[in-house]
Amino acid sequence: MRTRLMMLGPPGAGKGTQSHRLSEVFGLPQISTGDMLRAARKAGTPLGLAAATAMDSGKFVPDEVVVGIVKERLTLPDVQHGFILDGFPRTVVQAEALAEAGVVLDAVINIVVADEELVERITGRCTCPGCGSAFHTRYHPPTTEGVCDDCGTELVVRPDDTAEVFIGRLADYWAKTSPLVAFYTQRGIVHTVDGIGGLEAVQERIRVIVEGRDSSPLTV
């Protein structure tokens, strides 16, 4: 049985957090292009250098860079039972490239949150550079201030998580990524989830969908 999921929604909607949690619940690898690109930048690879300017300004990384790294990742053996795509595809062009590569998704989880709520969320967000866990000073604070609960690494605020940069990211999302809702709706695999509420409540809404309790089975 394979379950191949994609997390969709505006920045700050909780895609990364929910992907991480679902990865543990279902035993599926979380494939985060953001984490992979940041790692490449830190390592100073050609891919990282190509992505650095766009990432620091909150812009999209060129399609060919992102598509290449994801296609390579999906050849690894740990995805044979499925995966959770987090942060990819971000454009219809990327979605078409994914389909052309023969990658078929079982479900697209579209997390919906109002823009006003997103701006409030983003200003307190911090992430773990070690394991990728996400926290928020108001909604999901770490047990020890500034330290990751999962691995003990010091938390950081991403340079693209400032309010000014975030507004630009949100505009990019509505212009370039939101058309993916229509793209995947045509394929009958979009499931809309209310992103308001506690982490456990949102996770439960997604879990019900993934397990196919209120829709057709999502595994093949």
Q: Is 23 helix (H, G, I), strand (E, B) or coil?
A: helix
Q: Which of 15, 21, 42, 59 is catalytic?
A: 15
* Tokens representing residue 218 in the block: 């999502």
Q: Identify whether the C-beta of residue 77 lies closer than 8 Å to the C-beta of residue 159.
A: no
* Tokens representing residue 114 in the block: 């109002």
Q: Which of 21, 38, 41, 125 is catalytic?
A: 125
**Sign of the dihedral defined by the CA atoms of residues 171, 132, 36, 186, in that order:** negative
Q: Which of 4, 90, 121, 205 is catalytic?
A: 90
Nearest to residue 64, comparing CAs of 84, 46, 77? Answer: 46
**Close Cβ partners of 126 (under 8 Å, ≥ 6 residues apart):** 134, 135, 136, 137, 146, 155, 156, 157
**Close Cβ partners of 127 (under 8 Å, ≥ 6 residues apart):** 16, 133, 134, 135, 155, 156, 157, 158
Q: How far apart are CA 169 and CA 60, in angstroms?
A: 8
Residue 15 is among the residues annotated as catalytic for this protein: yes
Residue 169 is among the residues annotated as catalytic for this protein: yes
Q: Which of 2, 59, 158, 176 is catalytic?
A: 158
Residue 125 is among the residues annotated as catalytic for this protein: yes
* Tokens representing residue 213 in the block: 């309790």
**Catalytic sites, residue numbers:** 15, 90, 125, 158, 169
